[in-house]
Amino acid sequence: SSRVVEIQSQMSERAVELLGLPEDRPCLLLDVGCGSGLSGDYISEEGHYWIGMDISPAMLDVAVEREVEGDLLLADVGHGIPFRPGMFDGCISISAVQWLCNADKKSHSPPKRLYRFFSTLYTALARGSRAVLQLYPENSEQLELITAQAMRAGFTGGMVVDYPNSAKAKKFFLCLFVGTSGTLPKGLGTECASEELHQAKFTNERTRFRNIKGKSVKKSRDWILEKKERRRRQGKEVRPDTKYTGRKRRPHF
């Protein structure tokens, strides 16, 4: 229906916007789960090139009939992204990645399929580029599973949530960085403070407290709080956090 097309187009625009592409040159983008090529139309309008992958021959037939400008590939992204290293300047995906959480066949392991997808996607993307994947997670466990596999594959970044307080307009965009830790873009309509907590949960914990050389900033307040939290999870006795936690003591004379 036209309403679905309209929502799809809006999400495509938002995903491309979140990619933060350079404005002075055309880019080559990968569209994962491209369907009939609606996102591709927007990418072409913006002067960029694209290759679309989809698992549905019927959807790709529609894309061919519509004479979309991108190249099309019939493939299951759970088997990996079959392109040469560093080929793409960015990747978008609209409403597709959550399907990798389903085990459609006995042989399917969702964590393995997600890891295969993310690790090969990481390789196919140019250093310094981004992947923006809009998805409809069924629950927070699914969100955690998807995010965890992306981080395992080497991505940094996390979830950008647009309109978190609206049941209808709320949208999840997994915004991933390749080889550089960018700043996570702000979600639309997130003027409230509660969303900050939600976003913080999906940051990449491996790189959170590292300085430039990649070492943990040892004995920093963050490092101490992280350690205490780990101990609590192990069920150990830990002193409560206060404003004095991690503060330097004055030197004694």
Residue 95 has pLDDT above 70, yes or no: yes
User: What percentage of the chain exceeds 70 in pLDDT?
Assistant: 86
Buried b (16+ CB within 10 A) or exposed e, 86-116: eebbbbbbbbbbbbbbeeeeeeeebeebbbb
Taking 3-state DSSP, the helix, strand and coil percentages for the chain, each rounded to the nearest 5, stand at 40, 20, 45
Each residue of 203-227: pLDDT tens digit? 444 444 444 445 456 677 777 877 7
Quote the pLDDT of residue 182.
72
- pTM of the full predicted structure? 0.74
CA gap 198, 236 in Å, rounded: 26
Each residue of 139-195: pLDDT tens digit? 889 999 999 999 999 999 999 999 999 888 899 999 999 987 678 888 998 765 444
Quote the pLDDT of residue 205.
44
Query: How confident is residue 251, by pLDDT bands cut at 50, 70 and 90?
Result: confident
Are residues 130 and 184 in contact, defined by beta-carbon separation less than 8 angstroms? Answer: no
Distance of alpha carbon 248 from the chain centroid: 37
CA gap 211, 206 in Å, rounded: 12
* Architecture of the domain made up of 1-178: 3-Layer(aba) Sandwich (3.40)
- Using alpha carbons only, what angle is made at residue 138 by residues 30 and 133, rounded to the nearest 5 degrees? 15
* Three-state SS at 236: coil
In the chain, domain spans: 1-178, 215-252
CA gap 134, 153 in Å, rounded: 18
Strand 28-32, strand 49-54: pairing: parallel
Average pLDDT, the chain: 86
Find, among 151, 99, 94, the residue nearest to 121 by Cα.
151
Which amino acid is present at 114?
Answer: L
Query: What is the token pair recorded at 206?
Result: 């491996």
